[in-house]
Amino acid sequence: MADALIDATILIDATNNHPKARVYIETLLLAGEGYTHSQAAAELLSGTRDSREQSRLTKFLRQFHFLHPNEDDLQAALQNLLKFHLSHDLGFGDCLIAATALRLNLPVATLNDRHFRLFKGLKVIRPY
């Protein structure tokens, strides 16, 4: 199983050829540890501006194993959205990723420490 769930912030850096992100991602992929969340992929895909960009991103994402939420994750994400949205400007996507990571007992690799550190028991990795 995965060593960490890679958040969209790192995937975005990698697609923008950020050297540290590319090295981190390539190392995980070579080890067979390239795990991300379907929500992170959706966040990236929703930011594409044309079919060429979408095609390039789809090819990049095919390298990863996707983790998906279950019903309990969805319920936990909604509860955490109610708890943290107004006070911390937290969105549903981060709540969903955190809920799935907590269920699977996986740390989240992210550059967004501020949001993910809100979740009790969730380990957060900032790889660079």
User: If you count them, how many residues does the chain have?
Assistant: 128
Query: Which amino acid would we find at residue 17?
Result: N
User: From CA 102, how far away is CA 31, in angstroms rounded?
Assistant: 23
pLDDT at residue number 72: 98
Enter the tokens of residue 43.
Answer: 């966040």
Instruction: State percent of the chain over pLDDT 90.
Output: 98
Q: What is the CATH number of the domain that holds 99?
A: 3.40.50.1010
What digits encode the pLDDT tens for the residues 24-82? 999 999 999 999 999 999 999 999 999 999 999 999 999 999 999 999 999 999 999 99
Would you state the pLDDT for residue 2? 75
**Is pTM beyond 0.85 here?**
yes
Q: Is 87 exposed, middle or buried (0-12, 13-18, 19+ CB in 10 A)?
A: exposed
Query: Is the model more confident about 1 or about 62?
Result: 62
- Domain total of the chain: 1
Domain carrying residue 26: 5-125
